[in-house]
């Protein structure tokens, strides 16, 4: 058995849910659900293959209403008739021995128009993302804002009824909650926009809606996490100072963790290349004594993970678990030299990565190191 100091310790979250270890599967889009939002057999196999070793699996994002679908092949959590499908997913993860956490989100202005009713893409304000061919969204009405807040609560209820152990609110990666918090995408002058404090109102209302659903429907302890991206490149955009103010408030919301979305665990500022202090350190120093912080990003080896866990109590693994579904088990057995560190092109079936995900992995430049065998 591995003599790793931190990785294989159990960890109790504030809600009372205990993870058997401190390594989780990061939420990663997989394009594998059916067009109606139900979970496909291929998707169940993909998750089963990566469950068991990790303390918990955080799923790919599930949209909370039909205007929030951000990807082809995305899990749906927006209708009650999808609860049996969600239950299959929770059961598949539990069967292998990991906790199951459903990530819930709304894509806002990042939603491809063809996935949205009447191609009616919405956001905090009518400001397009700074990406080629981005549609200019329509500013959400007060009624739509209130409905979306309620929809996050309804998605949480469905996750509870489906047997999940928790949900993660996706407030990162430029999607709707981040769009409300960002001065780039939010130019409103009502209660939902303006100062840093006012731009927090929508994310905080979503947190409140989710917590109310948990209080009403969960019979057992239930995890509520929140994922955020610390900075934006845009001007104006989210600064580290904005984010430290946000985490101050989130830390007081009785959440189970803050999941800091970074491409590299120790990365410095994306706004100022001279500011090399790891963003995760700044957040941990600010609120780590009040709320558990989870890190992610380019943690390839067991040594990388142990070094990260010396700073924060939990980490999630993304690409590493795509290339090596048995990452945790191999470390536990002392077989670290057996861990795959590149995508093996002749092992698609063994890695349980079906189409169309496999083609995307092969075609996106610099996403994965690849080897013929």
Mind spelling out the 3-state secondary structure of the chain?
CCCCCCCCCCEECCCCCEECCCEEECCCCCCCCCCCCCCCHHHHHHHHHHCCCCCEEEEEEEECCHHHCCCCCCEECCCHHHHHHHHHHHHHHHHHCCEEEEEEECCHHHCCHHHCHHHCCEECCCCCCCCCCCCCCEECCHHHHHHHHHHHHHHHHHHHHCCCCEEEEEECCCCHHHHHHCCCCCCCCCCCCCCHHHHCHHHHHHHHHHHHHHHHHCCCCCEEEEEECCCCCCCCCCCHHHHHHHHHHHCCCCCCEEEECCCCCCCCCCCCCCCCCCHHHHHHHHHCCCCCEEEECCCCCHHHHHHHHCCCCEEEECHHHHHCCCHHHHHHCCCHHHCCCCEECCCCCCCCCCCCHHHHHHHCCCCCCEECC
Catalytic residue at 67? no
Q: Among 6, 67, 175, 226, which one carries the catalytic annotation?
A: 175
Residues known to be catalytic: 175
């Amino acid at each position: 058995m591995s003599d790793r100091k931190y990785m294989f310790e159990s960890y109790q979250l504030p809600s009372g849910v205990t993870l058997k270890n401190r390594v989780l599967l990061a939420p990663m889009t997989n394009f594998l659900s059916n067009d109606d939002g139900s979970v496909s057999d291929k998707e169940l196999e993909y998750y089963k293959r990566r469950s068991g070793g990790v303390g918990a699996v955080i799923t790919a994002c599930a949209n909370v209403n039909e205007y929030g679908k951000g990807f082809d092949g995305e899990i749906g959590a927006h209708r009650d008739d999808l609860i049996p499908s969600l239950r299959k997913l929770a059961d598949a993860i539990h069967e292998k021995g990991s906790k199951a956490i459903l990530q819930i989100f709304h894509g806002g202005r990042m939603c491809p128009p063809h996935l949205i009713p009447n191609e009616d893409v919405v956001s905090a304000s009518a400001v397009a993302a700074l990406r080629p061919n981005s549609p200019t969204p329509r500013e959400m009405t007060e009624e739509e804002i209130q409905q979306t807040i309620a929809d996050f609560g309804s998605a949480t209820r469905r996750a509870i009824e489906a047997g999940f152990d928790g949900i993660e609110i996706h407030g990162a990666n430029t999607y709707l909650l981040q769009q409300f918090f960002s001065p780039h995408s939010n130019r409103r002058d009502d209660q939902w926009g303006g100062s840093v404090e006012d731009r927090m109102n929508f994310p905080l209302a979503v947190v409140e809606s989710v917590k109310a659903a948990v209080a009403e429907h969960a019979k057992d302890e239930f995890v509520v996490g929140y994922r955020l991206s610390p900075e934006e490149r845009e001007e104006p955009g989210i600064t580290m100072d904005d984010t430290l103010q946000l985490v101050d408030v989130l830390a007081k919301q009785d959440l189970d963790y803050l999941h800091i979305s970074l491409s590299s665990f120790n990365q410095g500022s994306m706004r100022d290349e001279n500011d090399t202090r790891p963003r995760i350190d700044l957040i941990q120093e600010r609120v780590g004594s009040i709320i558990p912080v989870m890190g992610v990003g380019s943690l390839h080896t067991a040594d990388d993970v142990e070094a990260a866990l010396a700073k924060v109590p939990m980490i999630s693994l993304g690409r590493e678990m795509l290339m090596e579904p048995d990452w945790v088990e191999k470390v536990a057995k002392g077989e670290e030299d057996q861990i795959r560190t590149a995508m093996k092109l002749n092992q698609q079936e063994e890695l349980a990565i079906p189409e169309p995900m496999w083609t995307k992995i092969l075609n996106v430049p610099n996403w994965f190191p690849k080897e013929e065998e």
